[in-house]
Structure 1
Amino acid sequence: MELQDQRCIVTGAASGIGRAIAARFLQLGARVAIADLDESAAHKTADELGPDGRAIGVRMDVSDEEQVSAGVAKVVSQWGGVDVLVSNAGIQIISPLEELAFAQWKKLLAVHLDGAFLTTRACLPHMYANGHGKVIYTGSVHSKVASHLKAPYVTAKHGLLGLAKVVALEGAPHHVAANVICPGFVRTPLVDRQIPEQAKDLGISEKEVVRDVMLRETVDGEFTSTDDIAEVAAFLAAFPSLALTGQSVVASHGWFMA
């Protein structure tokens, strides 16, 4: 499996799953734009992961049309195109539905769905010009199932499945594939913040949140790792044909079995 000289953009790549994906792509020979809302963290991560210049930091609020366009233009200016997009940036908001502010609903959907749309729209013309490309969305097991307190997140992650299918259809004549990775719970700062929030809202201990909510349906009671998801992303990015497009790949320690 190689990604030699593939020009990749990974959003939300300064930390967590995005950072792990960027690191794995670089190990496989790719050039990677570390796109993140936190510009200083993006540059720091790029320096740490790609001191040979194969990684660059890019400021990108994925919900901002102008920033997305400017960020993709920067990558194209430096490397001449885009071969792989990993739309990974995300946030989480925990709340009972009846208490959820409309502004919070819109904020989460803007990052997950508007961000996926805007980055995809900005990258597709360059992929079409190249005659090939891979679009990879970071979904979730919540692209398949629901959970308490996560109405906007579940809605957004379900929406990514539909977007990927449309991109797969429209991109096929240009040899562009689109797929969704659906991780189980990955122990990232995003998940760590959820544990006390869910404990408070559900009236249970943090230990019970982990054991009885997050990992209850797994086959081994284990968190999925960022490295697990990075391997799946690398597999999808390097897959040689359109035999694998419009699909979702669940990596969840058996939490959801399709």
Structure 2
Amino acid sequence: MNLTNKIALVTGAASGIGMEIAKEFLAHGACVAIADRDLDHARLAATMLDPGGSRSLSVGMDVSNEDQVEAGVDQVARHFGAIDILVSNAGIQIVGPLEEFKFSDWKTLLAVHLDGAFLTTRACLKYMYPVGSGSIIYMGSVHSKEASVLKAPYVTAKHGLEGLAKVVAKEGAAHGVRANVICPGFVRTPLVDKQIPEQARELGISEDDVIKKVMLKDTVDGEFTTIEDVARCAVFLASFPSNALTGQSIVVSHGWFMQ
């Protein structure tokens, strides 16, 4: 898997899965724009992953803000001369029962996951289409396939990413652009660590039971998916050489969901 001289934009890349994907892309020869709502953290991540600074760029970007997305993508294209890969990874989580869920929280979560995916895709396509190539990777979830309690907007958003990827795959095919979705199981990131006590309170069970009886109960081995697992999958999708693999989703979940 070779990404030498490819230019990748990874959103939500200052920590967690996004940062690990940026690390793997750099290890496979790519130049990487590390985009995050927190520019200071993006800069720290870029310095850590690419101390020389020759193959990385930190970009401040709220993916739900159209002006910031357009400006950030243009900045990446000016700096590196192209955008070959987009990883739409930025995400947030808000949990709660549907009958009590605030509409403002619903809109906030969908804005980050769905509006962010749309806005970054649209901005990157204007650089991919003219050169006849590109790979777009959306960070879905096992929740792109099935539901869990307390996660109505998250499940809705992750299902929506599969639909978006399929449309981009069909429209992008004539321009050499592929689109696919990675669907991880539970990955022990700060986002998941925040959910554990929240779900324990909502469900009236212990944090240990949230992990064993809710999050990992349907895996084949009771193990969390790792950020390394997800990053390797991203490299595979980004480097795949043809339209044979487009409009698809790959589940990385220790067997939680099998398709």
Q: TM-score scaled to structure 2, two decimals?
A: 0.99
Q: Displacement of 1:125 after TM fit? A: 1.1
3-state DSSP of counterpart to 2:105: helix
Aligned residues of 1:138 and 1:180 also touching (Cα < 8 A):
yes
Separation (CA, whole Å) in 2 of partners of 1:138 and 1:230? 11
Distance 2:63 2:51 in 1: 25
Query: What does 1:141-156 correspond to in 2, within 5 Å?
Result: 141-156=142-157
Matched residue, 1:64: 65
1:194 aligns with 2:209: no
2:86 aligns to what SS in structure 1? strand
Between the two proteins, what is the percent identity of the paired residues? 67
Per-residue CA shift, 1:152-184, capped at 9, x if unaligned? 000000000000000000000011000000000
Moved more, 51-60 or 91-100: 51-60
Q: Aligned pair 1:244/2:250, yes or no? A: no
Question: CA–CA distance in 2 between the matches of 1:200 and 1:51?
Answer: 42
Other structure's SS at 2:238 match? helix
Equivalent pairs, count: 258
Counterparts of 1:79 and 1:32, CA distance in 2: 9
Alpha-carbon distance in structure 1 between the residues aligned to 2:180 and 2:29? 21
- Report the counterpart of residue 24 of structure 1 in structure 2: 24
What does 1:2-21 correspond to in 2, within 5 Å? 2-21=2-21
Residues 97-143 of structure 1: per-residue CA shift (max 9 Å, x gap): 00000000000000000000000000001001111000000000000
Q: Secondary structure at the match of 2:220?
A: coil
> Which residue is equivalent to 2:213?
212
How far 1:37 sits from its partner (Å)? 0.3
Aligned AA for 2:230? I
Which residue in 1 is equivalent to 2:171?
170
The equivalent of 1:136 in structure 2 is 137
TM-score by length of 1: 1.00
Shift of the alpha carbon at 1:51? 1.9
Tell me, yes or no, if structure 1 residue 121 matches structure 2 residue 103: no
Alignment partner, residue 104 of structure 2? 103
The answer to whether the 8 Å contact 1:43/1:57 transfers is yes
| Structure 2 runs not aligned, ≥5 long | none
Match of 1:95, SS state, is: coil
Contact 1:47 1:56 (8 Å CA) reproduced = no
SS at match of 2:237: helix
Tell me, in whole angstroms, the C-alpha distance in 1 between the residues paired with 2:13 and 2:79: 19
**Distance of 1:255 and 1:217 partners within structure 2:** 5
Q: What is the CA RMSD across the aligned residues, in angstroms?
A: 0.4
Partner of 2:50: 50
Q: Partner of 1:248: helix, strand, or coil? A: strand
- What amino acid is the match of 1:5? N
Return the offset for 1:65: 0.2
| Per-residue CA distance 1:58-89 (angstroms, 9 max, x = gap) | 00000000000010010011111100000000
**Partner of residue 74, structure 1:** 75
Structure 2 letter corresponding to 1:126: Y
The answer for unaligned runs of 5 or more in structure 1 is none
Q: Secondary structure at the match of 2:249?
A: strand
Q: Who is 1:37 aligned against? A: 37
Amino acid at match of 2:154: Y
The answer for the alignment partner of 1:160 in structure 2 is 161
Say which SS state the counterpart of residue 221 (structure 2) adopts.
Answer: coil
